[in-house]
A and B are shown apart, each in its own frame.
Chain A
Amino acid sequence: MKILKSARAAWNRFFFEPQSPLNISAFRIIYGVLVCATLLLLHGDWLAWYGPHSWISAATMHVVEPGTRINLFSLLPATDSAIVAFFWIFLAAALCLTAGFCTRVSSIVVYLCLTSIDQRNLFILHGGDTFLRVAGFFLIFAPAGAALSVDRLIRIRRGKENPGELRPRLPWAQRMIQLELAFLYFASFWWKMKGGAWTQGSALYFIFHLDEFQRFPVPQILLHPAALRVGSWLALVVEFSLGTLIWITKFRYPLLVIGVFFHLSLEYALNVPLFQWDVLSAYILFVEPEDLQRFLKRVA
């Protein structure tokens, strides 16, 4: 009975103890920038991937991936101009979300549009797209416009909020995004453990010798089979730790630093655009609000 009581108390503390909305607001800004970046990188191929005469037609998509799905493209006229208009509206909503203007509405529009482009062409997605989509779903429910936003400035101007005070909010939606990030790492670790290449240490050798993934030159010493073997094992350790130990306060900051180094190394060496940044964006949710406030004050 006592265990149940303390488990319930821990659950309530984790999901429902009011917390400063600073972290989720800062995440909103980074998230918005990344959605904009995704759209702008796609810009030259909006019609090639999603248009009426795209690589994969909507009809084929429907056949190979059946089921009822949130997909605004099914409501749009099958014309180039309608598709281009959709993307400009999407981009405008992402800019509003970044600025924190009409935050709730813009977060809903961004989620609907993001899900729609993913559903319209499932064959060009990477993990970063998936993370943005899932995080975007929970962002809808978060108090993402409570700080660092145009919405807050408007509320202050109207006398509805005190400029010197940030009202704590329920963090459950933020926690879901944090859980998603931890789950991403843990599931990646689990998948890797299912194949011999990672446990034997040969996995990174294959990856670094796939021409399509090479970005900047990696020092030759790091491409030695022994170094790559150690690297493969380290990747397992890092992913397991970020998926589990990140919840233990004393390990959190060191793990976040290791995680940043891990992803920046991959960003340097491997050509998987935006994935590393998409994942790193959620690290800010693990920073203590007081520390984030101190950092922002220092920057300001």
Chain B
Amino acid sequence: MPRRAKDAPAQPSRLKPWQYATLNIFILFHIFAITAWAIPFRSPFVLDCRELVRPYMLWSGLFQAWNMFSPVPKGTNTYLQAVIIYKNGETQMWDFPRMELLSLTQKYSQERHRKFVEILLDEDNAALRPDVARYVARMPGIREKDPQQILLMVKWSNIIPNGDGTFTRTPLDQDVFFRYDVQPEDLR
């Protein structure tokens, strides 16, 4: 960072005028685009700016959101399971990796599953669920046994604040939130 308060030249001597102009446009555009995209402000003007830069931000990979644990952190422990129903009537449970049951090294390599489960439980991402059910049906040890239906089941326990500053956990509840009939082509 420049510490001195001396005046810098109007235009850096190393740059030709067109280079200086191009760089300034590039810098200003990216400061504008990133700010418009990621600032958590929902005025009509900001939303218009966001729409304006959307194609570029998505194309370039500069899209970003910094809302981890915010505005309100999750208040529920959730666990995802797949129930596999085979043609012969047998059923099997398959647990998505649960971070709290993994070793330290596994936590590092499997953390993506935590995020994936979080996304999957969001109703906005319901379109992903058939793919997930198909993936489970194709897993080694499951595919060979001719799965007929895959159910995705969530178990959850809420973290409830008490009046005195402490919190309690509710008993585990569960819900089947997606059913998928396996097609023969899914197993190929």
* Chain A interface residues (CB < 8 Å from chain B): 6, 8-10, 12-19, 41-45, 49, 53-57, 60, 63-64, 67-70, 111, 114-115, 118-119, 123-127, 130, 133-134, 137, 170, 172, 176, 179-180, 183-184, 187-188, 190-198, 202-203, 205-207, 209-215, 225-226, 229, 247, 249, 252, 271-274, 286, 288
**In-complex Cβ contact of A188 among B58, B66, B98, B128 (8 A):** B66
Whether B23 contacts A126 by the Cβ 8 Å rule is no
Could you tell me if A45 and B112 are in contact, using CB atoms closer than 8 angstroms?
A: yes
Interface residues of B in 56-82 (CB under 8 A from A): 58-75, 77
Q: B159 at the A/B interface (Cβ < 8 Å)?
A: yes
B141 within 8 A of A: no
B11 in contact (CB, < 8 A) = yes
B residues near A (Cβ < 8 Å) are 1-3, 7-12, 14-15, 20, 23, 27, 30-31, 34-35, 38-41, 54-55, 58-75, 77, 98-100, 104, 107-109, 111-116, 119-120, 125, 127-128, 130-132, 135, 138, 159, 161, 165-167, 169
Interface of A is mostly: helix
Q: How far is the CA of A183 from the CA of B70 in the complex (A)?
A: 16
B30 to chain A, nearest CB (A): 7
Q: Which residue of B lies closest to A112 (CB)?
A: B61
Please state if A197 and B73 are interface contacts (CB–CB under 8 Å): yes
Please state if B59 and A69 are interface contacts (CB–CB under 8 Å). Answer: yes
Q: How far is the CB of B41 from chain A (nearest CB, A)?
A: 8
Contacts of B127 in A (CB 8 A): 60, 63-64
A297 to chain B, nearest CB (A): 20
Q: Is the CB of B131 within 8 A of A198?
A: no
Tell me, rounded to whole Å, the shortest Cβ–Cβ distance linking A124 to chain B.
Answer: 4
Residues in chain B near residue A179, CB distance under 8 A: 31
Report Cα–Cα, A68/B119, bound state, in Å.
23
Known: A13-B8, A60-B128, A210-B74. A191 touches B2 (CB 8 A): no
**Across the interface, do A183 and B61 meet the contact criterion of CB distance under 8 Å?**
no
Q: Determine whether the beta carbon of A9 is less than 8 Å from that of B7.
A: yes
Cβ of A170 and Cβ of B2 under 8 Å apart? no
Nearest B residue to A205 via CB reads: B167
The answer to whether A226 and B165 touch across the interface, beta carbons within 8 angstroms, is: yes
Check if A211 sits within 8 Å of B99, measured CB to CB: yes
Question: Which residues of chain B come closer than 8 Å to A188, judged between CB atoms?
Answer: 66-68, 70
- A16 and B125 CA atoms in complex are apart in Å by 44
Give the complex CA separation of A193 and B71 in angstroms: 7
A17 touching B2 in the complex, CB below 8 Å, given contacts A170-B12, A172-B27, A273-B107:
yes
Q: Which residues does chain B contribute within 8 Å of A190, judged by CB atoms?
A: 39-41
A274, B41: Cα distance in complex, Å: 28
- Give the contacting residue for A271; candidates B65, B75, B99; CB below 8 A: B99
Q: Taking the nearest CB of chain A, how far is it from the CB of B23, in angstroms?
A: 6
The answer to whether B61 touches A69 (Cβ under 8 A) is yes
Q: Are B100 and A124 in contact (CB under 8 A)?
A: no
* A209 close to B159 (CB less than 8 A): yes
* Interchain CA distance A172-B120 in the complex, whole Å: 40
Q: Report yes or no: A213 in contact with B40, Cβ–Cβ below 8 A.
A: no
In the complex the two chains form, what is the Cα distance from A126 to B115 in whole Å? 8
Contact: B70 with A118, CB < 8 Å? Answer: no
Residues of chain B with a CB closer than 8 A to A125's CB: 115
Q: Is the CB of B38 within 8 A of A183?
A: yes
In the complex the two chains form, is B108's CB within 8 Å of A16's CB? no
Question: Shortest distance in angstroms between A68's beta carbon and chain B's nearest beta carbon?
Answer: 5
Q: Which residues on the B side are within 8 Å of A126 (C-beta)?
A: 68, 111, 115
A-B contact pairs, 8 of them (CB 8 A): A56-B131, A191-B67, A197-B73, A214-B99, A225-B165, A225-B166, A271-B111, A271-B114
- Chain A residue with Cβ nearest B23: A172
B123 to chain A, nearest CB (A): 13
- Give chain B nearest CB distance to A55 CB in angstroms: 5
Question: Chain A residues with Cβ under 8 A from B30's Cβ?
Answer: 176
Bound complex: CA A176 to CA B108 (Å): 29
